[in-house]
Structure 1
Amino acid sequence: MAQYSYLKEYTAEEWRKRGMPDPFLFSRYNQFMPIKLDEIERAEAQLGFQLPSQLREFYLEIGSGYLVAPYNTIDENYHFGNSNEILPPMVVAEFYKPLGHDPCGEEPEEWLYSSDEQYVMDPDYYACMEKDCLSFFHTGGSCGFLMLRPHSSNPNAVWDDFGENIVEESFERFIWRLYYEDPAYYNDVIIACMEKQKSLLM
């Protein structure tokens, strides 16, 4: 494993050792909470299949949490506008859009809340998502998520907010780029994809 060792210093345990003040500023610092194997297995039991391998490895090695600051941040006034949260496994499972429709045969009309009510998804947004989308990464609000598509030919590829365009060919590379390039690099990729689609339609 040990593919994400460069993020180990941002785990909750390491922050506690350094006496990180409370409340924690999620818009300024990276922080990850540990995820136990049984949490992953509980989410997978609800889904009926295993999570994509690279997300699973990340949970076991680092956890879930916020990746908002690049490695070379030195500005004392640094503030990142997006959430950039790698969601906990059960939230990912609860917001999964399966192949086909919900058991009732309809898209949801009410807001979708996670069981702990910490996360919410707009029903219109959910209805527009491609089938087979795991919303694993929250960028902000009730319509801001990036996806994995576990039954596609590349289950570790990261997709845009509707599951239509690939942002990055692998989850591992996606995390690396957030940290070493820009925590909002995906915005430029999504805009470029939209521009390309527009030009093809003209």
Structure 2
Amino acid sequence: MATFDFIKKNNHHKFYKLQENELIVAEERLGFAFPDELRSFYLEVGYGFIKGNNLHAINRIMDPDTIADITKREGIYEFDPDLDGIYEEEDKLVLYEVNEGVYLTLDLNIPQQTPVYFFETKIANSFQEFIRKVDQDTEYFVDMVD
């Protein structure tokens, strides 16, 4: 099981706790469980914002309900053109908002150690690796895209 003690020690970030029942409600909406690492993060840390050097970036780990809204294209995401195409793949799960309309996704094909993608480029082999890297530099992956 992943442990995220390292990110909780960084008091520059802003996280919001959530209850397991909030995860369960979102999972029921989605029709599947969140990947193990993301689920562990939610229960151990929560969701929220990673503080970085770019004051214009959002750097938001989305809450489970928002992820369900995006995946199901409901609420404010129903007609969001930024989600067309690349973010509609069934084996990808939008989980992190870099900037408005720019998201990172998880590959759902490997639920125990879930790779993270920036568009089509793998930027971390696991969610925990991604959190470690983004904790140090919120823009580490920007130059990785061709």
Shorter-chain TM range is: 0.7 to 0.9
Identify if the C-alpha distance between structure 1 residues 121 and 189 changes in structure 2 by more than 3 Å, giving closer, same or farther.
farther
Aligned: 1:123 with 2:80: yes
Say which SS state the counterpart of residue 136 (structure 1) adopts.
strand
Q: Does 1:136 align with 2:95?
A: yes
Query: What does the per-residue CA deviation read over 1:88-143, in whole Å, with 9 as the maximum and x for residues that have no partner?
Result: 0010111116xxxxxxxxxx7xx961xxxxxx5863332212512311001111x2
Cross-structure match for 1:91: 66
Equivalent residue for 1:80?
Answer: 55
The answer as to whether partners of 2:121 and 2:144 remain within 8 angstroms in 1 is no
Question: What is the CA–CA distance in structure 2 between the aligned matches of 1:44 and 1:188, rounded to whole Å?
Answer: 33
Shift of 1:7: 2.2
Instruction: Work out which of the residue numbers 110, 119, 129 in structure 2 matches 1:173.
Output: 129
**Distance in structure 1 (CA, Å) of the matches to 2:54 and 2:141:** 18
| TM-score when normalising by structure 2 | 0.84
After TM superposition, give the deviation of residue 149 of structure 1 in Å.
2.6
Pick the aligned partner of 2:103 from 120, 145, 160: 145
Following TM superposition, where does structure 1 have runs of at least 4 consecutive aligned residues deviating by more than 6 angstroms? Answer: none
User: In the alignment, residue 185 of structure 1 is paired with which amino acid?
Assistant: Y
Paired AA for residue 136 in structure 1: L
Alpha carbons of structure 1 residues 144 and 121: separation in structure 2 relative to 1, 3 Å: farther
Matches of 2:79 and 2:99, distance apart in 1: 12
How many correspondences in the alignment? 143
User: 1 or 2, which has the higher strand percentage?
Assistant: 2
TM-score between the two structures when normalised by the length of structure 1: 0.63
For residue 6 of structure 1, what is the aligned residue in structure 2?
A: 6
CA RMSD of aligned residues (A): 2.4
Larger Rg: 1
State the distance in 2 between where 1:168 and 1:63 align: 20
C-alpha displacement at 1:79, in angstroms?
5.4
Give me the whole-angstrom Cα distance separating, in 1, the residues matched to 2:55 and 2:133.
Answer: 16
Identical-residue share of aligned pairs (%): 26
Q: Deviations over 1:161-189 (max 9, x none)?
A: 3xx22111100000001113x11112122
How far 1:2 sits from its partner (Å)? 6.7
The equivalences for 1:51-66 within 5 A come to 51-66=34-49
